[in-house]
């Protein structure tokens, strides 16, 4: 097992680690973005200039600065600039509509938004912002990748009350004062919003100490050093991207390889050219690599550690990835509220496998984390007994922004109620079954979607799948599956039903199967089950129904 004292012995912040690395090796590469390298010194000077512009725009300590960008160097510079002022980073999904953006801006009270030109349209006029900073062009990196969808021009003239200014103008028209970091471990560092898949998004209060601990955790757990580099497949606007990409690179330090947003061929090319050794992403990232014939095994061979979380990791996908690329995918478990991972599989050790279902374990508790499984009354359960997973540790947030009722319901005496169902075996391995609310009750029997999905993934034609419960007049609920197929590998819904029926109890196999080109997901790779439920209500084409 891993040396559990390593991370626990450290205290500090990501900014303090960045400052120490800057002093020791200012010319070391901090970011690689297509054809351009950004050194630690250049990144720091750039962040100073942005901080000066934000300060002149009214940003003060503890203010919230919303950042709504793709994976570009400007994102990292803006994060550091925000921390230089003692302000709080609010990472936003760049796919948000104006309505979704308004929900978060109104909740956190941010008065500054840093965004792409395509975002700064008339939809922002209604927001209570004082300053909108637009990343004109590409800042330090001018290459435009033709295979990607790039930010377009402003769709309509902006007519809001906020001052609209380009990032280049912001940094050119102010005195780029040298800013010292004004943060303490207990100060808020990041206010990431939950994905909203189970209700309105809530801002999780991540401190500098919590972010630092989790960034160091990835560095130490996988023994990462200056010769390593991170392939940024996760969006930086998600807690995984901020901690397991940006954070770990700043505390090591090592290069962060960015590619605007995930595209399998582009990221594979960047991985090969930069010899990337570490990455963390949702399993959909790695199924996308598998689905793309142009991604050659040689392109990914430098990767020493590939970690996947945020969604279940099917054993069949892990085996397919290993067979094609010669790389093992390491499962992990964590939430926005745990500031990324709470569980990891120790390096060099394969995950435990549940002998009953074949489900892969998501690992053991990471440094400083305690985990337990409880029943509905909150009483701890024994090894192998399924219930709700609860967590405590240095990465667990103390609550949600301006939501005392929700905070009290989610966190009791330092224990986070995850809402996830699972069990811990006698050796301490955690097995995540599913979201408790997603459990299906069919004819009085409990069916966990994860178990059905794992069986579907064993079919050679299945690329991705998701299972939900739908109303049934006879059973109460019945099992419905949504499936996307691998290119050139056909399969009829009836064939998939028979595949499951031969491998599962009668009450478990799906009676309803719908084929989709792609499953609806968040940018972090989580399947949007609410959209699948809406599809199921219509029982559209491509559905097989069995009774």
Residues 130 and 231 in one domain: yes
The answer to whether residue 434 sits within a structural domain is: no
Give the integer Cα–Cα distance in Å for 335 and 396. 9
- Asked if residues 477 and 469 have their Cβ atoms less than 8 Å apart, the reply is yes
242 or 152: which carries more pLDDT confidence? Answer: 242
Question: Helix, strand, or coil here: 136?
Answer: coil
Residues 401 and 459 in one domain: no
Residues 233 and 116 in one domain: yes
Both ends of the chain: CA-CA distance in Å? 49
Domain C-terminal end among 420, 450, 483? 420
Look over the chain and give the mean of its residue pLDDT values, rounded to a whole number: 87
Residues 400 and 450 in one domain: no
Residues 177 and 284 in one domain: yes
pLDDT level of residue 182 (50, 70, 90 thresholds): confident
The answer to whether residue 495 sits within a structural domain is: yes
Residues 109 and 157 in one domain: yes
Residues 460 and 498 in one domain: yes
Give how far Cα 138 sits from Cα of 34, 455, 504, Å. 11, 45, 52
Domain count, the chain: 2
The answer to whether residue 232 sits within a structural domain is: yes
Q: Is the pTM of this model over 0.85?
A: no
Lowest mean pLDDT segment, chosen from 78-82, 98-102, 254-258, 361-365: 98-102
The answer to whether residue 1 sits within a structural domain is: no
Share of the chain above pLDDT 90, in %: 64
The angle, 0 to 180 degrees and rounded to 10, between the axes of the packed helices 283-291 and 315-325 is 50
Domain C-terminal end among 372, 388, 420? 420
Q: Which helix (H) or strand (E) holds 500?
A: helix 493-501
Domain C-terminal end among 393, 420, 447? 420
pLDDT for the residue 195? 67
**How does pLDDT run across 306-328, given as a tens digit for each residue?**
999 887 788 889 999 999 999 99
Give how far Cα 139 sits from Cα of 78, 166, 208, Å. 12, 10, 27
Give the integer Cα–Cα distance in Å for 440 and 471. 10
**How does pLDDT run across 230-266, given as a tens digit for each residue?**
999 999 999 999 999 999 999 999 999 999 989 999 9
The answer to whether residue 416 sits within a structural domain is: yes
| CATH code, 503 | 3.30.300.30
Residues 394 and 507 in one domain: no
**How does pLDDT run across 491-521, given as a tens digit for each residue?**
999 999 999 999 888 889 999 999 999 999 8
Q: Which helix (H) or strand (E) holds 163?
A: strand 163-166
pLDDT for the residue 158? 61
541 or 166: which carries more pLDDT confidence? Answer: 166
**How does pLDDT run across 9-42, given as a tens digit for each residue?**
446 899 999 999 999 999 999 999 998 999 999 9
The answer to whether residue 187 sits within a structural domain is: yes
The answer to whether residue 533 sits within a structural domain is: yes
| CATH code, 352 | 3.40.50.12780
The angle, 0 to 180 degrees and rounded to 10, between the axes of the packed helices 208-221 and 14-24 is 60
Give how far Cα 169 sits from Cα of 49, 133, 157, 318, Å. 10, 9, 18, 47
Q: How large is the average pLDDT for residues 484-491?
A: 93
Residues whose CB is less than 8 angstroms from the CB of residue 479 and which lie 6 or more positions away in sequence, other chains included: 440, 442, 447, 449, 452, 467, 469, 508, 509, 510, 511, 512
Residues 508 and 361 in one domain: no
Q: How large is the average pLDDT for residues 108-132?
A: 84
The answer to whether residue 11 sits within a structural domain is: no
10 or 421: which carries more pLDDT confidence? Answer: 421
Residues 413 and 446 in one domain: no
- Residue 488: give the domain boundaries: 439-545
Residues 279 and 334 in one domain: yes
Closest CA to 546 of 513, 511, 496, 517: 511
Give the β-pairing of 370-374 and 387-392: antiparallel
Residues 494 and 404 in one domain: no
């Amino acid at each position: 097992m891993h040396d559990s004292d390593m991370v626990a012995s450290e205290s500090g912040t990501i900014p303090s680690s960045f400052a120490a690395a800057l002093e020791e090796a200012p010319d070391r590469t901090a970011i690689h973005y297509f054809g351009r390298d950004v050194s630690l010194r250049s990144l720091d000077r750039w962040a100073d200039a942005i901080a000066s512009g934000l300060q002149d725009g009214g940003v003060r300590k503890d203010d919230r600065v919303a950042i709504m960008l793709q994976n570009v160097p400007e994102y990292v510079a803006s994060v550091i600039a925000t921390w230089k002022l003692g302000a709080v980073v609010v990472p936003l999904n760049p796919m948000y509509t104006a309505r979704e953006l308004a929900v978060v801006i109104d909740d956190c009270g941010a008065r500054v938004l840093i965004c792409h030109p395509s975002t700064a349209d008339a939809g922002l006029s209604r927001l209570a912002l004082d300053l909108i900073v637009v990343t004109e062009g590409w800042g330090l990196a001018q290459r435009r990748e033709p295979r990607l969808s790039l930010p377009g021009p402003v769709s309509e003239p902006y007519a809001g009350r906020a001052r609209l200014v380009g990032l280049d103008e912001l940094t050119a028209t102010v005195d780029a004062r040298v800013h010292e970091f004004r943060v303490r471990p207990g100060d808020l560092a990041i206010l990431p919003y939950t994905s909203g898949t189970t209700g309105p998004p809530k801002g999780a209060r991540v401190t500098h100490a919590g972010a630092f601990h989790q960034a160091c955790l990835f560095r130490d757990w996988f023994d990462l050093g200056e010769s390593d580099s991170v392939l940024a497949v996760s969006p930086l606007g998600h807690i995984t991207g901020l901690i397991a990409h940006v954070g770990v690179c700043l505390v090591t330090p090592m290069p962060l390889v960015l590619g605007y947003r995930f595209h399998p061929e582009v990221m594979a090319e960047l991985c090969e050219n930069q010899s990337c050794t570490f990455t963390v992403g949702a399993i959909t990232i790695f199924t996308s690599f598998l689905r793309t014939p142009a991604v050659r095994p040689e392109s990914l061979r430098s990767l020493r550690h590939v970690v996947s979380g945020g969604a279940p990791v099917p054993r069949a996908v892990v085996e397919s990835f290993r067979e094609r690329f010669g790389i093992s995918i390491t499962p992990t478990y964590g939430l926005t509220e745990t500031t990324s991972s709470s569980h990891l599989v120790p390096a060099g050790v394969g995950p435990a496998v549940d002998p009953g279902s074949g489900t892969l374990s998501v690992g053991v508790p990471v440094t400083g984390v305690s985990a337990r499984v409880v029943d509905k009354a909150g009483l701890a359960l024994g090894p192998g007994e399924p219930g709700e997973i609860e967590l405590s540790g240095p990465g667990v947030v103390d609550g949600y922004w301006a939501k005392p009722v929700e905070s009290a319901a989610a966190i009791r005496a330092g224990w986070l109620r995850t809402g996830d169902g699972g069990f811990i075996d006698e050796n301490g391995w955690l097995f995540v079954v599913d979201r408790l609310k997603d459990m299906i009750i069919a004819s009085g029997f409990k069916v966990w979607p994860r178990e059905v999905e794992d069986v579907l993934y064993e079919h050679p034609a299945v690329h991705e799948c998701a299972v939900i419960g739908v109303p049934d007049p006879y059973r109460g609920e019945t099992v419905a599956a949504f499936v996307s197929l691998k290119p050139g590998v056909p399969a009829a819904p009836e064939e998939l039903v028979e595949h499951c029926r031969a491998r599962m109890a009668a009450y478990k196999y799906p009676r309803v199967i719908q084929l989709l080109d792609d499953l609806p997901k968040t940018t972090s790779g989580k399947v949007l089950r609410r959209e699948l439920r809406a599809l199921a209500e219509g029982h559209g084409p491509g559905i097989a129904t069995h009774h």
